[in-house]
Structure 1
Amino acid sequence: MAEKKGFRAKAQKFGSYLSGMIMPNIGAFIAWGIITALFIPDGWFPNEQLAALNDPMITYLLPLLIGFTGGRMVHDLRGGVVGATATMGVIVGADIPMFLGAMIMGPLAGYIMKKIDQKFQDKVKSGFEMLYNNFSAGILAAILAVIAVLGIGPLVEGLNNALAAGVDAIIAAGLLPLANIIIEPAKILFLNNAINHGILGPIGIEQATETGKSILFLLEANPGPGLGILLAFAIFGTGMSKSSASGAAIIQFFGGIHEIYFPYVLMKPTLILAAIAGGVSGVFTFSLFDVGTVATVSPGSIFALFALTPQGNYLGMALGVIVAAVVSFVIAAFILKTSKTDADDLAEATGQMEEMKGKESSVSANLTQDAEEETFEQANEEVEEKSAEEVDKVIFACDAGMGSSAMGSSLLKNKFKKADIDTYVTNTAINEIPDDADIVVTHKDLTDRAKAKLPTAEHISVENFLNSPKYDELVERLKK
């Protein structure tokens, strides 16, 4: 049992790291997808000049962004610069888009640069710091770029081709829908990032460059299975699960935050059958109508789904979502009608989810509004509370800087606005906390990492990002 938990924790950490490289660059992926959908010969508004953006973006821009982000996560800007340069090596050393190569070379280059700096930076004579900084990074980047061209690029291309061949064989055999037997349980266990960004995304992008779309982008992003389960709870659930399900369905379907339905499945584990059946039936429908999207769908919102759907695929896309929702709804309804659900089960399942994830889900406040927040120590003992005059910037930080921290940031902005407090509030990934942050708000399990990143700031730990009394305390303090 301990070994299984250890493997799951490592897989979650790996998925979180992949997400940290991909999520900050999703805007660039969407930009590429929109340009592809609009201006390629089969697009809505074919334009040869504008379509010329397609290949350079997919070949150079996107891998370089990933490589830079991966290097920066490990060793700040120096790691990012070396990571991007090393990534250029795998781009030149292969004939396919090098997303897997970028995910390898970016962090690897940042790590090596970090180790070199730890060994030599303190030994540099005064006045030679700039010389060391520039030449150490330049020499390492050049060496890694050459190694990448000659060795790593061809190796990763071979690996990518093998994975792509395997996926093509599964698609040709008509077995792709069965992939959801693995994907749906993986989502519930928060392993979806490792699968989505580590395997499906890179292969899907390669397919999209050849055919203009890929069904692989839909395997994890389809909001249908989760919607069906939540609608079943809204009609046949009891207690808190019934009253909260309709609001959760809106957030999941339109906002694209799939994790909001995970506690419902954990509350009644047999509901994983509904999620699997919905996922399988949805992918089968997508395959039947030969639909796909032009780029990674993130977040998995119905709006994002259709925004990245190419011309002529809308009917099949709609049917795939509807079929998945109907199938999961029918099975979930049957399970709920034939079993007893305790009103308190949802809070217990939410706690289960938080334990698996390693931190409380950003959506748990919506599900357990009446639960009291646990008491724990303020994370920062050595930095005193800052006065209103000292606070110019408040930062919310989480793993990827996109989900829970974005919602917490939005909530505090509204509280500040109502209290007429003119203080800058934003969200970011924990590895990208700015040096001029005065207050950093994190989940209690991430506070130590945030303190290591910026020990000079005041750190506030919260039990969840959407329902913490610490916000009101901060508002009262800054009002004074």
Structure 2
Amino acid sequence: MGILMAYMFFGRGSAKQSAGGAAIIHFLGGIHEIYFPYVLMNPRLILAVILGGMTGVFTLTILNGGLVSPASPGSILAVLAMTPKGAYFANITAIIAAMAVSFIIASILLKTSKVKEDDDIDAATRRVQDMKAESKGASALSAGDVTNDLSHVRKIIVACDAGMGSSAMGAGVLRKKVQDAGLSQISVTNSAINNLPPDVDLVITHRDLTERAMRQVPQAQHISLTNFLDSGLYTSLTERLVARTAPQHQRRESTRPSERQL
């Protein structure tokens, strides 16, 4: 959390712009994987992660804090729900202390960074995807990997387990890009995997859920990702959709004069 806050104040480019939303997802949603690309852009930030973690554990030990059972996902809401009555002060103090230490260290490292170009969060996210895919012996999927014809795509669904939260935000990002590109004939919504309709043309979901989605709607095309806020993937997909639908639009325009003559 401290690292994301440091990017909000001292980051550059798209990393700074996206850090606020990522912090909300991290803190309230408990999806800690979302800060990985930010560390990958500046590996020195691992020091902030280590020192922040050490501070949190030390504070919990001194104040005798802890949980009655694991908090999953690691949202602040889940942490508070699993906190025993006498440990609220200790747990909240540990969270604030860890956040403060990681924020201070990350801020110093970001301000003293010699990297002059804008931080590219999209490129870093794709690197995380590639690294995770390689560790599993697979290659990462992206929008560019969809080689089938996209000209028929009219219904896109971003899907996850519950059909809320991260998939809803991902659908919002893609929907805006599709609308800005003038693709009014394409609808973008979010859904739970078990509720995917049979008429969907393209399904976007987390890599770990793609097999389930393919069993649910095998006739649709599928794209896997590891970050539902991967703006780069959505941009690439939108460009592909524009390129695929442009020939159809040109053909319709070319037939209009002859239709008027008739």
Name the TM-score, length of structure 1 as normaliser. Answer: 0.38
Match of 1:437 among 195, 198, 203: 198
Say which one has the larger Rg.
Answer: 1
> For 1:437, what is the secondary structure of its paired residue?
coil
Contact 1:238 1:342 in 2 (8 A): no
Aligned counterpart, 2:23? 249
> For 1:426, what is the secondary structure of its paired residue?
strand
From the superposition, tell whether residues 257 and 379 of structure 1 become closer, same or farther in structure 2 (CA, over 3 Å).
farther
User: Shift of the alpha carbon at 1:409?
Assistant: 5.3
Aligned counterpart, 1:296? 70
Match of 2:80 among 301, 306, 314: 306
**Structure with greater proportional helix content:** 1
Structure 1, residues 340-376: CA drift from partner, whole Å, max 9, x if none?
23333433322321212339xxxxxxxxxxxxx9544
Contact 1:241 1:343 in 2 (8 A): no
Structure 1, residues 22-75: CA drift from partner, whole Å, max 9, x if none?
xxxxxxxxxxxxxxxxxxxxxxxxxxxxxxxxxxxxxxxxxxxxxxxxxxxxxx
Give the Cα–Cα distance (whole angstroms) in 2 for the partners of residues 251 and 316 of structure 1: 24
> For 2:66, what is the secondary structure of its paired residue?
coil
Number of residue pairs aligned between Structure 1 and Structure 2: 222
Give the Cα–Cα distance (whole angstroms) in 2 for the partners of residues 249 and 448 of structure 1: 26
Aligned counterpart, 2:32? 258
Structure 1, residues 112-155: CA drift from partner, whole Å, max 9, x if none?
xxxxxxxxxxxxxxxxxxxxxxxxxxxxxxxxxxxxxxxxxxxx
From the superposition, tell whether residues 339 and 374 of structure 1 become closer, same or farther in structure 2 (CA, over 3 Å).
same
1:427 has 2:189 as partner? no
From the superposition, tell whether residues 336 and 291 of structure 1 become closer, same or farther in structure 2 (CA, over 3 Å).
same
Structure 1, residues 69-92: CA drift from partner, whole Å, max 9, x if none?
xxxxxxxxxxxxxxxxxxxxxxxx
Aligned Cα RMSD in Å?
Answer: 4.4
Give the Cα–Cα distance (whole angstroms) in 2 for the partners of residues 257 and 448 of structure 1: 19
Aligned counterpart, 2:127? 352
Q: What is the 5 A alignment of 1:15-34?
A: none
Give the Cα–Cα distance (whole angstroms) in 2 for the partners of residues 244 and 314 of structure 1: 31
Sequence identity (%): 42
Give the Cα–Cα distance (whole angstroms) in 2 for the partners of residues 446 and 281 of structure 1: 33
Contact 2:174 2:188 in 1 (8 A): no
Higher mean C-alpha displacement, 343-352 vs 305-314? 343-352
From the superposition, tell whether residues 244 and 462 of structure 1 become closer, same or farther in structure 2 (CA, over 3 Å).
same
Q: What is the 5 A alignment of 1:393-404?
A: 396-397=158-159, 404=166
User: Shift of the alpha carbon at 1:251?
Assistant: 2.9
> For 1:312, what is the secondary structure of its paired residue?
helix
Give the Cα–Cα distance (whole angstroms) in 1 for the partners of residues 133 and 49 of structure 2: 23
Aligned counterpart, 2:255? none
From the superposition, tell whether residues 291 and 357 of structure 1 become closer, same or farther in structure 2 (CA, over 3 Å).
same
Aligned counterpart, 2:107? 333
> For 2:72, what is the secondary structure of its paired residue?
coil
From the superposition, tell whether residues 263 and 413 of structure 1 become closer, same or farther in structure 2 (CA, over 3 Å).
closer
From the superposition, tell whether residues 339 and 314 of structure 1 become closer, same or farther in structure 2 (CA, over 3 Å).
same
2:85 partner amino acid: Q
1:437 partner amino acid: P
User: Shift of the alpha carbon at 1:311?
Assistant: 0.8
> For 2:106, what is the secondary structure of its paired residue?
helix
User: Shift of the alpha carbon at 1:379?
Assistant: 4.9
Q: Which has the higher contact order (CA 8 A, sep 6+)?
A: 2
1:461 has 2:226 as partner? no
User: Shift of the alpha carbon at 1:309?
Assistant: 1.4
Structure 1, residues 376-395: CA drift from partner, whole Å, max 9, x if none?
435579xx9488xxx8xx76
Query: Unpaired segments of 5 or more residues in structure 1?
Result: 1-226, 360-372
Q: What is the 5 A alignment of 1:66-81?
A: none
Give the Cα–Cα distance (whole angstroms) in 1 for the partners of residues 173 and 119 of structure 2: 27
Give the Cα–Cα distance (whole angstroms) in 1 for the partners of residues 190 and 113 of structure 2: 46
From the superposition, tell whether residues 312 and 239 of structure 1 become closer, same or farther in structure 2 (CA, over 3 Å).
same
> For 2:120, what is the secondary structure of its paired residue?
helix
Give the Cα–Cα distance (whole angstroms) in 2 for the partners of residues 338 and 403 of structure 1: 35
User: Shift of the alpha carbon at 1:327?
Assistant: 1.2
From the superposition, tell whether residues 246 and 294 of structure 1 become closer, same or farther in structure 2 (CA, over 3 Å).
same
Give the Cα–Cα distance (whole angstroms) in 1 for the partners of residues 162 and 9 of structure 2: 34
Give the Cα–Cα distance (whole angstroms) in 2 for the partners of residues 425 and 264 of structure 1: 26
2:223 partner amino acid: S
> For 2:85, what is the secondary structure of its paired residue?
coil
User: Shift of the alpha carbon at 1:427?
Assistant: 2.1
Contact 2:5 2:23 in 1 (8 A): yes
2:204 partner amino acid: T
Q: What is the 5 A alignment of 1:228-239?
A: 228-239=2-13
Give the Cα–Cα distance (whole angstroms) in 1 for the partners of residues 212 and 148 of structure 2: 10
User: Shift of the alpha carbon at 1:239?
Assistant: 3.2
From the superposition, tell whether residues 236 and 286 of structure 1 become closer, same or farther in structure 2 (CA, over 3 Å).
same
From the superposition, tell whether residues 411 and 297 of structure 1 become closer, same or farther in structure 2 (CA, over 3 Å).
farther
